Structure 1
């Protein structure tokens, strides 16, 4: 591709490759995007084509669930200014600091069976808990935490990644779908908030099919979306991933019911917190965008590193097309998809879209730096402290120490990596992006 970086160039001329990557570093001032102008244009488009108008219906709730997760008896209304107009919360609120760093499920994911000393998957804190989110909030360089939201059978949004909860009783393994549980049942797993309650053990299935006890150095109880809003610092941004099972074809009514439950909690408790939604489910992204115009909606994609029956999910280019078609605000791609297709960043810029990435390569400082040069807006990482500190260094004023000062003008920034280190990474990238996740 004329706009891409040739693998041959990556192997043979690392310094020239860095210069080429600089082409894709678009202006941070421009990349924050003119969201208010974009919003006006999107409203015009939706009005022209007769955008879907959805009446917010209440999910069924039990009195006990309502006490833990109150849901308003009317449609949520966006926050308003003193003048009575909807208050815009543009994505730029998060993007102001340049490249954003987001904590993956808080301070990082848990991988059961991870060997001692493993860099990824061995977070001390239980993922997707108030403890993990609170620890991430202590790092000033962390812009947001990413977490997974599902809706229980009685209509309460809860924080949990896996589609199924696994437990064991009298040596018998039980596996329950999260969305088939009542709120009280969901909260009964793992460590309990009230000491007198007996907890049910949590297990987790590994990629090879084995089921192991899900233990962490520092445990915390499972929580609801409402509790996260109430107990996590309001200065920490939220990336709310709307979680749906890849193996289920959802009728629109089911998507609407779950999304309405989430939005009702968001509008009631978000306040001034910067947040955005993301999802792998393209129809859920579309409906979320149609249900509200206050918070940005981004489309999650594996960027071509996995194949799905729904072709909208099968490439970074397709993801950008989904954003254009559904008036979304950006893409969150598996990092290898971006490294394979760097010209997509320019395409996203031309469409006024943000580009964020996730994946294990985001725990390699040099790989994150290459994305910084390419103009990626944000990275979701497991090694939160290490990578957030590294990204903070990227934008420090040049103290005369830059190893690139004689070869590449990088905007008078201080870089903490030698040309030899980056050259090695650039030669390695073609091999890295071909490896299975």
Structure 2
């Protein structure tokens, strides 16, 4: 078993932002052109063209209580309401985090710990140590008139605050998501593990098999993608089944871990090829900092998705489309789907979900670069590579 990250260390310092941007601009444009050439060659060879995918992060977007952007404060992600609200827009998938309770039930929840308040004291419990019945007692309840335990959340700065949102919803299980979420939506199921724990293969197998049982029982025709930051879990999921594609999640070097497989796009490519995984989900900043990795990912016949706050910027999403990215995981679902429909020609609905679901590294059609587009990219790049 490989070592699991104990704690992220700061990435090595780079050159000043302005200098890096000025130096990087011509290189990135060259790589964008190279990636476009790879795509056009693949299409000519019969590789096919798929639709650029927009994936709702935790549904209609994550809930960031301290975010200056009020659009990120409204609803609680990883909930049935958030998933179905995302379905009102032309998203292809919703992404959410799955953990398994102590009694073996896959549930949808992002954080490793759940916080509440009892008798004036703040209490925390590891989510995977809870029985399902205990987990579902937190927050709003399905039964009318019944109150749940107060649900608090720990902020990045260590503060613990009331988890108050405008659009709330009870906690839910993976099975409920299959039963109650619009069936046209694909599910990007992130296999969630604690970076600070070591997992033996036996424990990983138990967790993944519990998830697979629900998926195989409930999925029917719904497109599914599995993804995980945990390299051993991602590899094992690929070994346990071949029905659904498995993508490796990576920060791409924006944070450094003790497990070297997590520290670069190059390592992510090697891991995917060695284990037969079908794609990579990278932090968007990583592909702007290392654009040469994109053609390598495509040449390896791997699909490429990205996540991160840059994906809430329409211009950044459009540039990724030009570079050859297959899709983006976004928080601002309405804004980005509208921008994508305006900026990118979209083929018939449904083609992309099929392509991603079966792991084919298909790409959206890319226009030839005009002088106007090149000027646009040159203005944009310094903002993206900071």
2:65 to 109, 112, 116: 112
Give the superposition deviation at 1:18: 4.2
Instruction: Give runs of aligned pairs for residues 132-143 of structure 1, distance below 5 A.
Output: 132-140=82-90, 142-143=91-92
Between 1 and 2, higher relative CO (CA 8 Å, sep ≥ 6) is seen in 2
Give the superposition deviation at 1:178: 0.5
Give the superposition deviation at 1:329: 0.4
C-alpha separation in 2, matches of 1:30 and 1:150: 38
For 1:423, the equivalent position in structure 2 comes to: 378
Larger radius of gyration: 1
Instruction: Report the CA distance shift for 1:394/1:230 in structure 2 as closer, same or farther (over 3 A).
Output: same
Q: Which moved more, 1:386-395 or 1:236-245?
A: 386-395
1:171 to 106, 117, 120: 120
Q: Kindly provide the CA deviation profile for residues 157-177 of structure 1, in whole angstroms up to 9, marking residues without a partner as x.
A: 000000000001121001000
CA contact 1:278–1:300 (8 Å) conserved in 2: yes
Instruction: Give runs of aligned pairs for residues 190-209 of structure 1, distance below 5 A.
Output: 190-209=139-158
For 1:23, the equivalent position in structure 2 comes to: 34
For 1:152, the equivalent position in structure 2 comes to: 101
For 1:288, the equivalent position in structure 2 comes to: 237
1:354 to 303, 318, 334: 303
Give the superposition deviation at 1:22: 2.7
Q: Secondary structure at the match of 2:249?
A: strand
Give the superposition deviation at 1:13: 9.9
Give structure 1 stretches of 5+ with no counterpart.
1-6, 36-91, 398-408, 432-437
CA contact 2:228–2:248 (8 Å) conserved in 1: yes
C-alpha separation in 2, matches of 1:267 and 1:242: 16
Normalising by the residue count of structure 2, what TM-score does the alignment of the two structures yield? Answer: 0.84
For 1:411, the equivalent position in structure 2 comes to: 367
CA contact 2:58–2:94 (8 Å) conserved in 1: yes
1:234 to 177, 183, 193: 183
For 1:69, the equivalent position in structure 2 comes to: none
C-alpha separation in 2, matches of 1:235 and 1:365: 24
Q: Does 1:130 align with 2:110?
A: no
For 2:56, the equivalent position in structure 1 comes to: 103
Instruction: Report the CA distance shift for 1:15/1:347 in structure 2 as closer, same or farther (over 3 A).
Output: closer
Q: Secondary structure at the match of 1:24?
A: helix
Q: Secondary structure at the match of 2:70?
A: coil
C-alpha separation in 2, matches of 1:145 and 1:28: 29
Give the superposition deviation at 1:260: 0.2
C-alpha separation in 2, matches of 1:146 and 1:329: 17
Q: Secondary structure at the match of 1:27?
A: helix
Instruction: Report the CA distance shift for 1:320/1:196 in structure 2 as closer, same or farther (over 3 A).
Output: same
For 1:180, the equivalent position in structure 2 comes to: 129
C-alpha separation in 2, matches of 1:188 and 1:424: 51
Q: Kindly provide the CA deviation profile for residues 369-413 of structure 1, in whole angstroms up to 9, marking residues without a partner as x.
A: 11111000111011111111111222239xxxxxxxxxxx96279
Q: Kindly provide the CA deviation profile for residues 70-129 of structure 1, in whole angstroms up to 9, marking residues without a partner as x.
A: xxxxxxxxxxxxxxxxxxxxxx9xx832x21100000111112334x435x32x221100
Instruction: Report the CA distance shift for 1:27/1:419 in structure 2 as closer, same or farther (over 3 A).
Output: closer
For 1:89, the equivalent position in structure 2 comes to: none
Normalising by the residue count of structure 1, what TM-score does the alignment of the two structures yield? Answer: 0.74
C-alpha separation in 2, matches of 1:350 and 1:18: 18
Give structure 2 stretches of 5+ with no counterpart.
1-17, 347-364
Q: CA RMSD in A?
A: 2.8
CA contact 1:394–1:413 (8 Å) conserved in 2: no
CA contact 1:164–1:175 (8 Å) conserved in 2: yes
Instruction: Report the CA distance shift for 1:349/1:396 in structure 2 as closer, same or farther (over 3 A).
Output: closer
Instruction: Report the CA distance shift for 1:352/1:20 in structure 2 as closer, same or farther (over 3 A).
Output: closer
CA contact 1:151–1:157 (8 Å) conserved in 2: yes
